[in-house]
Amino acid sequence: MEHERDQDSKSALNFEENIRKTYNSRICKSLQNANNFVRSANECNESETRIAALGTTRDDSQGKYPNDINEPCGEVPSPSNPSGRGDHQSRLTTHTSFHENRVVGTLHPQILVINSGSSSLKFSLLDPESTNISAYGIAERLRTAQASLRLTDLHGAKREENLPAADHHVALLRAIEILSENAPLEVRAIGHRVVHGGEYFRRAALITDEVLQRIEDLVSLAPLHNPANAQGIRVATELFPGKPQVAVFDTAFHQTLPPHAFHYPIPYNYYERYRVRRYGFHGTSHQYVGQEAARRLGKRFDEVQLISAHLGNGCSVTAIRFGKSVDTTMGLTPLEGLAMGTRSGDVDPNLHLFLQNHAKLSLQEITDLLNQESGLRGVSGESHDMRMVAAAAAKGNARAALAIDIFCYRAARAILGLAAGLTAIDAVIFTGGIGENDVAVRAKVLEHLTILKPKLDPHRNKQHGKESGGRITADSGLQCLVIPTNEELMIANETVRLIS
């Protein structure tokens, strides 16, 4: 076993070295030419094209950062820094500081969107103005012998490669090389999905050394996600020195929750010291489909009241009142709320003590069980994938059928509960991998919502609303819409907004 690990390690080193050599010979010259062009344009159009990174200096007289990008700022406690004080100097090891970032207004390259996970890296290259995605791909099972890269390049050709033991850096490096085979890859800026922004970030932020450190300060709230998100930022900084980068936070849209919705009924000092509260997630998705629903309803986003159900491997439901999130099902972490692919959602907090005493499990083992071995996977005993669970249920597997029933009932119960934050419901939205594609799940959820009087149209539902503007219910009664999410476009739009 030790010999195999040594071989994997040597394979990774050799593989990365080969890629670096190729990258240096075929890419660096193009990037250098592009950078020379950027410098030339900057010299000619200094006043018009230089965009200083926001938030690198503090306006002490106001106690916040210029342009009011995010509040609260300054001495805000976090779970890993309860006092709110600490060393906020740069942790970057690259040679280019974020405050040197600039963009050239005369060029029209695209936005690179990166979603860096713990063992995967998704990316897409798109033009926010046309909403066209030029290229996209995913590297999976990183740091294992089965690591691989799949992408669709700028010409629409599909590519797939094995990258044994590759990490995030090697995977992104290889993707850039493929996308640059015929011409230099022109990237205007990089937008990153970041899962947890705590109370620091009420909206997207141009990445500075301090912003990156604050993302890392929140690791205790998102231990699987924020470290990977930060790593994606560092890799992009190394591969695209001088390019502006923007962090778009899953939690930011939910920073409008009122205190009665985000506080837990526990001793208040835990909020004051550790910022223990409900944060919510999938905010980028909920915001996108909410805006799209308003457009389809012929209204402004700040005129509608909606309930958005993001159903996928991770699931959450959000109440949107006049353009703002007012309640949501996920909480301090993404574990709270609905039954999901591998996550339990809501359980009795005393379950931890019960399992510790009777099953002799440690607190970490119980936490892992609730996050990784529960939900559809735990109940069905088959899979975390709804398609696999549905197939098993169709063959008479009672546990698989039960898993689906629990999933749908808890989603419906959440929708009804969140209605408490609204005065009316203009539409219920289904989105996410399951919400957009599973006809039976949508129908079963609506069966539990009879009190709201939705009139499901079986034909529209079967067509996923594609022939009826997304609507899957009859023309009268509660409007229920299927709206595919587009988090990448939201991230790209936010990136352009901040660098412009």
For the record, the structure tokens of 180 come out as: 């640059």
What is the C-alpha to C-alpha distance for residues 20 and 425, in angstroms, rounded to an integer? 55
Contacts of 335 (CB under 8 A, 6+ apart): 343, 344, 345, 370, 371
What is the DSSP secondary-structure string of 397-437? -HHHHHHHHHHHHHHHHHHHHHGGG-S--SEEEEEHHHHHH
Is 348 a catalytic site residue? no
What is the C-alpha to C-alpha distance for residues 415 and 326, in angstroms, rounded to an integer? 13
The answer to whether the beta carbons of residues 17 and 170 sit under 8 Å apart is no
The answer to whether the beta carbons of residues 184 and 240 sit under 8 Å apart is no
Could you give the 3-state DSSP secondary structure of residue 203? coil
What is the C-alpha to C-alpha distance for residues 3 and 15, in angstroms, rounded to an integer? 18
Q: Give Cα 421 to chain centroid, integer Å.
A: 24
For the record, the structure tokens of 435 come out as: 């919400």
Q: Up-side HSE of residue 178: CA atoms within 13 Å toward CB?
A: 23
The answer to whether the beta carbons of residues 212 and 186 sit under 8 Å apart is no
What is the C-alpha to C-alpha distance for residues 264 and 111, in angstroms, rounded to an integer? 39
The answer to whether the beta carbons of residues 49 and 42 sit under 8 Å apart is yes
For the record, the structure tokens of 485 come out as: 């999410």
444 closest CA partner among 477, 472, 420, 471: 472
The answer to whether the beta carbons of residues 178 and 153 sit under 8 Å apart is yes
Cα–Cα distances in angstroms (integers) from residue 377 to residues 93, 232, 370, 385, 438, in the given order: 40, 29, 11, 8, 17
The answer to whether the beta carbons of residues 107 and 101 sit under 8 Å apart is no
Q: Give Cα 31 to chain centroid, integer Å.
A: 29
Catalytic residue among 153, 167, 250, 426: 250
421 closest CA partner among 274, 280, 221: 280
Cα–Cα distances in angstroms (integers) from residue 53 to residues 56, 151, 177, 247, 499, in the given order: 6, 31, 28, 12, 8
Give the catalytic positions in this structure.
Answer: 250
